[in-house]
Chain A
Amino acid sequence: MASRAVYVHRDPMLKKRDDFEDILEERRHSSDLRYALKCYTPVLYKGLSPCRASELKSMVLQSDQLQYVINQVSKEMGRTAEEVQAEASTILDEMAHRLQISTVRFFAFTLSKIFKTLFRSICVNEEGIQRLQQAIHEHPVILLPSHRSYMDFLLMSYVLYTYDLSVPVIAAGMDFMGMKIVGEMLRMSGAFFIRRSFGGDKLYWAVFSEYVQIMVKSGFAPVEFFLEGTRSRTAKSLTPKLGLLNIVIDPFLKGEVFDISLVPVSISYERVLEEALYARELLGVPKPKESTSGLFKARKVLSEDYGSIHIYFGQPVSVRALAEGKVNRCQFNLTPRHIPRKPGEEIQSFVNDLAYRLVRSQEENMVLTPWVLLAFLLLQNQAVGNERGMSLDELTEQAAWVRDLSRQFGAFLHWPDQLPPSKVVSSSLSLHRGLVRISDGRVQLALEMPHSAMTSEEELLNRAVIILSCASYRNQALHLFIRPALLAVAIQAASSNKKQEVYNSFSFLWNMFSNEFILCPGAAVQDFEEACYLLVKSGALQISQQEILVSGRGHRTLAFLANILDPFLEGYQMVCRFLYEATEGLTEKQFVPAVRKFIIKHLLTGRLRYAEVLSSDLQKNALAALLRLGAVQKLKGCQGALKVNKVIVNSLEDTLGKKQAVSRSLNTHGLFLDLDKNSKLILVSVSQRRKAAHSEGSRRSTLIPTR
């Protein structure tokens, strides 16, 4: 429960957000060349002793930290220190950026041209920029943008250059190195490259962490990286990766800097460039390797309208303020700080909470367009099998209703209130005409009509591309609805309207889906309270000491919310079913193709409602959840073979599938699904359950019955 204090429960309506300014506006009226050659004197960190990118290298190679590891490695591997040192130097050369201002100016010029053709506007909150400027002066700054597109880091550097702020150094995946010229160009504009995996390579890790830390400590430039690790193909935030975050806050924990400011940045695209690409990838068409020629082939994207981009620089987060009372910095007093060691439990849990908090604040400051809300409605309508679509009026009415609901939940919604809702709806639809079809005043997703030349499987995949693309827009607002949606399903599933029963059911779902959505570890209780608060506030629920009651007008809200989770429930259920039927010796590698095949088979029989369950993201998350809950285990030394606990998986499938029936079977069956002390799923009998409930009081969270 360490996250309790990091996680702050606020009234979303009170959230104040800054206004935006369009930075392309000026670019459309003045010379790009002059802009690229403007006088550029960014504010610097006050503690900065000036140093060039090349000097960083020798600082890294001579650092105590690296020298220690070099000696260690040379002893372990029986190589001379010089050899290892040379290897470290090579690693560093491969990694290091060579930031130079002329390249930045070149990008400033070309990107201006490109952005003006692609986007209607690039809107930035200027107050955020001012806060950032102040932060850069006072402390080392880490920029943490959301990651939805390759555009992200070009955009970031472009914006910072525009506002005369230090261009950041950016941790980029090694895959960019494949793009010959572009890779080098990126390097010269501040990107440094890290291998995607270097698990056991001590030397690589040491070079990498020391390189990043020296940049942080010296305040050389803001360090930028993506907490999510990779671009989210689904537009849902990804579970944060902790490696780099651990590295950058280490200098604070060890007292080498007074504080570090973490600045979450939310970049929201009205239309994502990679839209259809992502959907294909999720369906199993592998992602094309980055290459320069590929980039030029992508030129056709230049002719399309990608709407607006909103970039919101969030409130800088002080690591010092958050670590107060959570991390005892004295733990570094008794060993020299340059000797690498694994962060202890206290630090791990602090960093984990911190990462979730940052991702949540990225989510909160994402600007949602009306189209995002339309995506909810269109997908839900499609799923009920309505072949004719919705009438425009109906869609408009429902959209206005969802708009009001989302505002009550604190959405950062960019809905032009000065226009009549019908106008807003139709203009959103026109920007996304690739995904929707309007005929006879009725709107539906642009799913292709049955075609004789295609196999039914091809046809299914084509439909899925559209649905997944559309879902990626819906997903942009999932963070807003996820907690109330879990509660809505929990209320349906609970055996009674007793608060404790509802909570038990909520907590089960919460546990099940915490790989799918951003749910801070250990914060089930707070999430439950937040969901209750929001639904009471919107008038959907009435909550007394003991009971949760659905109000008269609450049914529509709860139905809408519960619907949101349906595709996920169905998907997880299918994964459970697949695992139940899977043969011995299934490996992790085989899992995704196999489960895909299995699901396609079921989809073709027409028994499933959601083509979304084809998303490999969902399938992987489901597997991760089952592994976490102990329903599936990875066998060591069998090339990732999976050992499935069939009884539990089977019970889970039932529980997920029969959410309505659950309440009636509470007292009639012998065994219950429960979590043990280590948060693993187990089956217990009624009597065991009672005993446990007696001995542990109401601390027990998940008590979902099964046959």
Chain B
Amino acid sequence: MASNSSRGSSERHRIAQHRLSVIAGHLQRPLNGDTTIRATECKAQGTRPDVATEMKTVPRRRQEIMKWNGWGYNDSKFIYNKNGQAEFTGKRYRLSGMIIPGLRDWMESTFGATVQHKTPATPVLNTSAVQPPTLNEAFVEGIKSTGIPFSHDPEDRVFRSHGHCLHEIFPLREGKVGRVPDMVVWPKCHNDVVKTVELACKHNVCLIPFGGGTSVSSALECPPEETRSIVSLDTSQMNRVLWIDEKNLTAHVEAGIIGQDLERLLNESGYCTGHEPDSMEFSSLGGWVATRASGMKKNIYGNIEDLVVHIKMVTPRGVIEKSCQGPRMSTGPDVHHFILGSEGTLGVVTEVTMKIRPVPEYQKYGSVVFPNFEQGVACLREVARQRCAPASIRLMDNEQFQFGHALKPQVSSIFTSFLDGLKKFYITKFKGFDPSRLCVATLLFEGDREKVLQHEKQVYDIAAKFGGLAAGEDNGQRGYMLTFVIAYLRDLGMDYFVIGESFETSVPWDRVLDICRNVKARIVQECKDRGVQFQPLSTCRVTQTYDAGACVYFYFAFNYRGLSDPLHVYAQVEHAAREEILANGGSLSHHHGVGKLRKEWMRETVSDVGLGMLKSVKDYVDPNNIFGNRNLL
């Protein structure tokens, strides 16, 4: 994983190639079936794009490579093979094609989910279940005349009617489709968006921007009360890196680009943004801006609000952007902050100037085992106090540690399994860690080789003070790899009566332990009170550290056999869990956003006046509610 420290340009290129293989190398290069001629203005708009843009991941007909009723690529999923063993299909990921021997037992012992009780998904969308579109003829004519591609094909529309909340995916698996957009448009550049928005205003059409479609806040759901024609504005074809400015270390990028493409294209020039949210394979730059996204390596690179230098957004009032690219300004409240987190209620982000960094020369994973969660949190707090957090540091609780264990692929040699046994013996017997209490932190260091090694030592020294034992690079690396495949696992669960989801919060340090304990206990209690027959999985991890607090992620799943309305039960439990989070001093959201799922708590979160401020901005910018997804407010 390392390279030497020479900075020659060919060397840099080599590093870039290497990064490609680390982050995005597992991805298939899809054939781009889209052959529509690009509108001429778009070409003329920028100077020659710095980077070749032909190999793009997201086609207009996304369903050709992605699941319409589940997570991720069509070819990648967990299945039980004919030997009854769990296996991950496809070729895209490190785990692809591997057998995971422990998973089935884990599913059975954790959820009571057995192979006998299956709930397979409807394989193909029944297009007759989709409402015929309500089209605004004048708008359609207008779009036709601009040459912007559009569609009212049911599959295209259904794909853009949802994010990935449980209550959005679950009905789709049963073939049930609710309100969907009446039409999809694919603008190719900023000017296309300007025209689309003008037409929408002129003909009073509801626009819902759609980026990567990875929302987990019901943000993409079409409001059922909306009577106007709903048009989904798919930004995926606005995906060029327009320029790279090496003097200022910035890049100007179209906002529809998805994370993995952005990283890959910048890597080709030896740069990266360092912004890696867990959804980066599919989520888009515009989506990050609109939800105030956070990346795994924010300790080095910052969250999205730290990364953007300039934003261009098209609103019903016109285009908003700043006049310069100064690194900081004192010009009243920062107008960027009306845009960051606006969740598609004010307009469409079309272009963003972002900070970039040279690709780091050296990367190293690591992991630490703690005797219990309390010690682990104390260690993270100390690391944050000393401001020496590595690029990423995450602490999993015992349940997640066991889960991670269950996801270990089949080991290739007897020797490896012997070594594993030895490690386990050392930790539990020799060091006296209780296997039902210990927990693990995964680490990722990045930077100059020497500095990384020095940094690594500092962190391990702190960990040792809290009883932490270094547990190897492999465990760490696997932890991060799992981040990308864990979303696929929910689909396997749903095949066998298990439903679940994750949600997050941010909380001051002194409350981390309390919130983890109470929210987990609340979930268990609510499940019991609501007649869930099986013990739920209720687990958490601390995923980010800040000076004044941490980000905590909760995972919650249960076997719904015996429940007549599992989705309702799920929603009630999740609601109760959020109440508990708020009662324990946690925030409404750290980076998922509010959407429609959490907007009932907005008033108490930002106060009456705060809500009024946001409303008045909306009223000014979009008086006719053209951007009518009804998120946030």
Contacts and interface: CB of A to CB of B under 8 A. Distances in A.
Interface of A: 47, 254-256, 258-259, 328-330, 332-333, 336-337
A333 B585 CA distance: 5
Nearest to B518: A258
Nearest to B529: A321
Contacts of A256: 514
A330 B510 contact: no
B487 interface: no
A219 B582 CA distance: 25
Given A330-B604, A336-B510, A337-B510, A258 B517 contact: yes
Given A336-B510, A337-B510, A255 B582 contact: no
B560 to A, nearest CB: 24
Nearest to A336: B510
A328 B585 CA distance: 11
B125 interface: no
A258 B511 contact: no
Interface residues of B, number: 13
Given A254-B514, A255-B583, A255-B585, 10 more contacts: A255-B515, A258-B521, A258-B522, A259-B521, A329-B583, A330-B582, A332-B585, A333-B585, A336-B510, A337-B510
Interface in B554-605: 582-585, 604
A259 B518 CA distance: 9
A323 to B, nearest CB: 10
A258 B583 CA distance: 11
17 contacts: A47-B517, A254-B514, A255-B515, A255-B518, A255-B584, A256-B514, A258-B517, A258-B518, A258-B521, A258-B522, A259-B521, A328-B583, A329-B583, A330-B583, A332-B585, A336-B510, A337-B510
A255 B586 CA distance: 11
Nearest to A254: B514
A47 B514 CA distance: 12
B604 to A, nearest CB: 7
Contacts of B515: 255
B511 A255 contact: yes
Contact of B514 (A255, A259, A328, A336): A255
A328 B580 CA distance: 11
B525 to A, nearest CB: 8
Interface in B497-553: 510-511, 514-515, 517-518, 521-522
- Prevailing SS type, chain B contact patch: helix
Interface of B: 510-511, 514-515, 517-518, 521-522, 582-585, 604
A254 B584 CA distance: 7
Contacts of A332: 585
Nearest to B514: A255
A336 B509 CA distance: 11
A645 B517 CA distance: 56
Contacts of A258: 517-518, 521-522
B582 to A, nearest CB: 6
A500 to B, nearest CB: 40
Contacts of B514: 254-256
Nearest to A251: B514
Given A255-B515, A258-B521, A329 B584 contact: yes
A332 B604 CA distance: 14
A328 B582 CA distance: 10
B284 to A, nearest CB: 34
3 A-B pairs with the lowest CB-CB distances in the bound complex, closest first: A329-B583, A258-B521, A255-B584
B514 to A, nearest CB: 5
B523 to A, nearest CB: 11
Contacts of B582: 330
Of listed B511, B515, B583, residue having the most chain A CB within 10 A:
B583
A436 to B, nearest CB: 53
A197 B604 CA distance: 40
B293 to A, nearest CB: 25
Nearest to A331: B583
Contacts of B518: 255, 258
A333 B587 CA distance: 10
A328 B517 CA distance: 19
A482 to B, nearest CB: 35
A337 B509 CA distance: 12
A256 B515 CA distance: 9
A333 B514 CA distance: 13
A258 B523 CA distance: 11
A58 to B, nearest CB: 17
B446 to A, nearest CB: 34
B515 to A, nearest CB: 7
Nearest to A259: B521
A330 B582 CA distance: 7
A255 B581 CA distance: 10
